[in-house]
Amino acid sequence: MRRTAWLLILGATLLGCRAEEGARSYEPSQFFRTRILPILENRCFECHSSAHEIEGGLSLDSRLGWEKAGDNGPAVTPRDLKKSLLIQAIRHLDSESAMPPKKKLQPIEIALLETWVLLGAPDPRSKSN
């Protein structure tokens, strides 16, 4: 619970910065495109996108991809970190499900993905791609 509170504060801070920068209020699709998509593109797409490979039945290059998701069900359950397979995987809790398999994400990247899930996983991409 304390961790969740901390994440929300971090999220609010990050979003606050953006709001100041652009003198705009928080925009879910903007948050996804500027903070979340680059992480997925750089660290996940090589194994989880239709342009490359779809390992474990999971494609992350469309919203439908993580909604219907892989061999073990939806990869993300909006607002629920524990039920979100994707979050459990990036925390590297065990070597079998650890994602990316080799090099763990940076702590800030993990925090951003956790924040994204807590915000309800806004994803403006079209359903199919």
Please report whether residue 121 would count as binding ligand HEC according to CB under 6 A. Answer: no
- 121 touches 83 (CB < 8 A): no
Give the burial class of 94: count Cβ atoms within 10 A of its Cβ; 0-12 exposed, 13-18 middle, 19 or more buried: exposed
Using CB under 6 A as the binding rule, whether residue 41 contacts ligand HEC is answered as: no
**Considering only residues 7, 35, 43, 77, which one is a binding residue for ligand HEC as defined by CB under 6 A?**
43
With tokens 């039945």, the residue in question is: 57
Site string for ligand HEC, 62-101 (x = CB under 6 A): -------xxxx--x---------xx--xx------x-xxx
CB nearer ligand HEC, residue 15 or residue 58: 58
Q: Is 119 in the site for ligand HEC (CB under 6 A)?
A: no
The Cα 4–Cα 114 span in angstroms is 9
The structure tokens listed for 64 are: 């439908």
φ/ψ bin of 100: left (φ > 0), alpha (ψ from -120 to 50), beta (otherwise): beta
State in angstroms the smallest separation of the CB of 123 from ligand HEC.
Answer: 13
Instruction: Summarize as ranges the residues that interact with ligand HEC (CB under 6 A).
Output: 43-44, 46-48, 55-58, 69-72, 75, 85-86, 89-90, 97, 99-101, 105
